[in-house]
Structure 1
Amino acid sequence: MILRIFGTSVVISVAALVAAYLYGGTTALLLTLILGVLEVSLSFDNAVINATVLRRMSHFWQQMFLTVGIVVAVFGMRLAFPLAVVWITAGLNPVDALDLALNPPTDGSATYESIILAAHPQIASFGGMFLLMLFLGFIFQDKELTWLTWIEEPLKRVGRLKEVSVAVALTALVITAVFIAPDDETSTVMLAGSLGMVTYIVVSGLGDLFHVDEEGESDGPSALVQLTGKAAFFLFIYLEVLDASFSFDGVIGAFAITADPIIIALGLGLIGALFVRSLTIFMVRQGTLSEYVYLEHGAHWAIGALSVILLYSIGTPVPEVITGLIGVVFIAAAFVSSLIYRRQESVDA
């Protein structure tokens, strides 16, 4: 099973490294490898969350996530998205934006990297609010099993209030725009953050809507089970937007290593994103989330931390290592807690 799931990722990764070497020699090869390792190491929480959604989809849609989804991840988020940011914010057409990326100016004018970094408040606000809505939806949910019971139980009771997630998220957005964002970015952060919330509500709601039509019950995307047809399609869209939101910080952070869009696409996309997707499929096929019951909790807490970091980074730069370590700590703690839970269950049995 391991060879079947990860074999394609290994072959494509080798091909990506060869392409990087042909493109820019040893330097490009090393940069691509670094970006690939960085993406995989920092995205385990992404894989866990993807698995919680993907396990409720049919085999066909799981394959769509690995095929069509990887095209979106590589060429959409790692190549087209940065070019689109430059296109929109700098008024350059896509061809000129790509030319600017491949041929940095030497006359002191704005570079591809500087334009991308200048758009960070909008990107972080959109992604941060989307992920915050996901976290709040989970933490306020009525769950039988809790991990950090001392805080999850009270929050579960608070979750009985209708639309409490929206109220908390809007409060966080206002605080970010007024107290964290630079003065000249307040309106931009409010608009981008609102769009992030609307995107979550719409995509999540569409999955819920077609779940009602096809399955006769309504528990939202987090509760869809082995869906096909319209329900699975909108859940697939939800999964792609979710995956894109996770990648925002990685794409921005990659510019600390290189501004070359080809190397970023090869490292973050062909190597990193594909391995994360293979890891997601592996967890679904192995039933990892059922075996280690707190991994989903840990991943959602990592998402909550990531959303806060994204919003905070609008006003103050946050080192990439902090972002990655927080996720690793939550996932590791949830894994250990799962082992303890399994041991106690076997003793009680």
Structure 2
Amino acid sequence: MVLKTFGWSFGVTALGLACAAFFWGWEAFALVAILSVLEISLSFDNAVVNAGVLKKMNAFWQKIFLTIGILIAVFGMRLIFPVVIVAISAGVGPIEAIDVAVDDPDRYEKLVTDAHPAIAAFGGMFLLMIFLDFLFDEREHRWIGWLERPLSRLKVDGLSIGTALVVLLVTAMTLAGSAHQYGGHHADKTSTVLLSGVAGLITYLFVAGLSGHFEEKLEEDEEREHEAEEAAKRAGKQPTAVGLAGKAAFFMFLYLEVLDASFSFDGVIGAFAVTNHIFWMALGLGIGAMYVRSLTVYLVRQGTLDDYVYLEHGAHYAIGALAVILLVTVRYEINEVVTGLVGVCLIAASFWSSVRRNRTIGPDGGGDDTGDGGGQAKEREVTSGV
């Protein structure tokens, strides 16, 4: 199971490290390996959240996620995206931007760093919306019950959007006026942060809205699937449910790609703390992205999210923390080690809470689980004499 799921990741790792050593030497080998570990540590929460979406998709779309999806993740976000940033920031064409990235890495790093406030605002708002929608949603299981229980009862339309816009406004008014730039300089990026943040919010609403719409349509038609198939066979046409399944899967796939893009922002920017060589960054971050993809599929196939019910909670809290960190980095530098540790600690805590819950009430929950890491459930069992 492990070899089948992670086989491609192992192969890409060996090939990538071999290429780094062959073309650029042992220094490149070491830095590519470090960047791979950096990407994995920063994106573990991404794998958990991705698994929650991917488990709704069939084996075909899981393969698409691991093939076409990884090409988009590696070549799109880890190689092309930084070049696009350079092109937009410097007002040059893509070919010239590549020349800058290859021939003048110091200028390339400066352009990407100066564009960081816009990147952080876009990615921070996108991730913040994911966290807020999760936090305000009514769920079967609650990890931090004292917080999640009252928030899930707030049935206010647009509460997530309103909260996110308030956070964006506060960020623009307090942090963007003296945004961090290359070389320790600061500049007023208020309008840039506002525009980029609103763009991130709109992107989330558009992609998540479409994927949610088609998912709901698919669920509504499940009861009629058999009848639709029979009618389609008689008429010689494809059943409606299959068409909807394709649309639903496509938009969920699109949602996963945008989600991955948002998670990759901190990895791409943080990579400059290790090296400003574009191809070394692409290799290291690409290898890390492969493991994140494989881990996502592994979690789905093993049913880990069903067995450890608070794991998804921990990942979403890590997303919320990452969103806040991205917005703070508009003005202040935060070491990527801190970012990675916050996510790892939150997920580790949620995993341990899940283990405790399974020990006390069993893996199936044994009834309604209202949270606080299984502590209240244990108290109910002790009170009832179980």
When the two structures are superposed, what TM-score results if normalisation uses the length of structure 1? 0.93
Q: Give the SS at the match of 1:228.
A: helix
Match of 2:328 in 1: 312
When the two structures are superposed, what TM-score results if normalisation uses the length of structure 2? 0.84
Alpha-carbon offset, residue 315 of structure 1: 1.1
Counterpart among 334, 345, 350 of residue 334 in structure 1:
350
Q: Does 1:60 align with 2:60?
A: yes
Q: Give the SS at the match of 1:111.
A: helix
The RMSD of aligned alpha carbons is 1.5
CA-to-partner distance for each residue in 1:55-95, whole Å, 9 max, x for gaps? 01111111111000100111000000000000111022222
Runs of 4+ in 1 over 3 A off after TM superposition: 346-349
Q: Does 1:243 align with 2:260?
A: yes
Question: How many angstroms apart in 1 are the aligned matches of 2:348 and 2:212?
Answer: 31
Alignment size in residue pairs:
334
CA-to-partner distance for each residue in 1:11-61, whole Å, 9 max, x for gaps? 111000111112211111111011011111222111100101100111111
Question: How many angstroms apart in 2 are the aligned matches of 1:83 and 1:157?
Answer: 45
Counterpart among 164, 173, 177 of residue 172 in structure 2:
177
Contact map agreement 1:47 1:277 (CA 8 A) in 2? yes
Alpha-carbon offset, residue 157 of structure 1: 1.6
Match of 1:290 in 2: 306
Question: How many angstroms apart in 2 are the aligned matches of 1:63 and 1:311?
Answer: 34
CA-to-partner distance for each residue in 1:271-295, whole Å, 9 max, x for gaps? 1000110011000000000111100
Question: How many angstroms apart in 2 are the aligned matches of 1:162 and 1:31?
Answer: 48
Query: Structure 1 residues 173 and 278, CA, compared in 2 at 3 Å: closer, same or farther?
Result: same
Question: How many angstroms apart in 2 are the aligned matches of 1:112 and 1:23?
Answer: 21
Contact map agreement 1:52 1:289 (CA 8 A) in 2? yes
Match of 1:7 in 2: 7
Alpha-carbon offset, residue 185 of structure 1: 0.6
CA-to-partner distance for each residue in 1:302-342, whole Å, 9 max, x for gaps? 00000000001101111111111110110010011000000
Alpha-carbon offset, residue 228 of structure 1: 2.9
Counterpart among 194, 199, 202 of residue 198 in structure 1:
202
Between stretches 21-30 and 114-123, larger displacement belongs to: 21-30
CA-to-partner distance for each residue in 1:105-151, whole Å, 9 max, x for gaps? 7xxxx700000000000000000000000000000001121000111
Contact map agreement 1:58 1:228 (CA 8 A) in 2? no
Match of 2:147 in 1: 151
Fraction of identical pairs, as percent: 54
Match of 1:258 in 2: 275
5+ residue gaps, structure 2: 179-187, 222-243, 363-377
Aligned runs of 1:77-116 on 2, under 5 Å?
77-104=77-104, 111-116=107-112
Q: Does 1:207 align with 2:211?
A: yes
Match of 2:234 in 1: none
5+ residue gaps, structure 1: 218-226
Q: Give the SS at the match of 1:293.
A: coil
Question: How many angstroms apart in 1 are the aligned matches of 2:111 and 2:67?
Answer: 31
Match of 1:124 in 2: 120
Q: Give the SS at the match of 1:143.
A: coil
Question: How many angstroms apart in 2 are the aligned matches of 1:128 and 1:189?
Answer: 10
Alpha-carbon offset, residue 212 of structure 1: 3.7
Contact map agreement 1:45 1:303 (CA 8 A) in 2? yes
Alpha-carbon offset, residue 214 of structure 1: 3.0
Counterpart among 251, 254, 258 of residue 234 in structure 1:
251
Question: How many angstroms apart in 2 are the aligned matches of 1:210 and 1:326?
Answer: 34
Q: Does 1:49 align with 2:45?
A: no
Match of 1:221 in 2: none
Q: Does 1:166 align with 2:161?
A: yes
Question: How many angstroms apart in 1 are the aligned matches of 2:175 and 2:337?
Answer: 21
Bigger-Rg structure (1/2): 2
1:79 alignment partner AA: L
Contact map agreement 1:36 1:272 (CA 8 A) in 2? yes
Aligned runs of 1:261-276 on 2, under 5 Å?
261-269=278-286, 271-276=287-292
1:84 alignment partner AA: V
Question: How many angstroms apart in 1 are the aligned matches of 2:249 and 2:30?
Answer: 39
Q: Give the SS at the match of 1:315.
A: coil
Q: Give the SS at the match of 2:157.
A: coil
Question: How many angstroms apart in 1 are the aligned matches of 2:177 and 2:28?
Answer: 35
Match of 2:75 in 1: 75
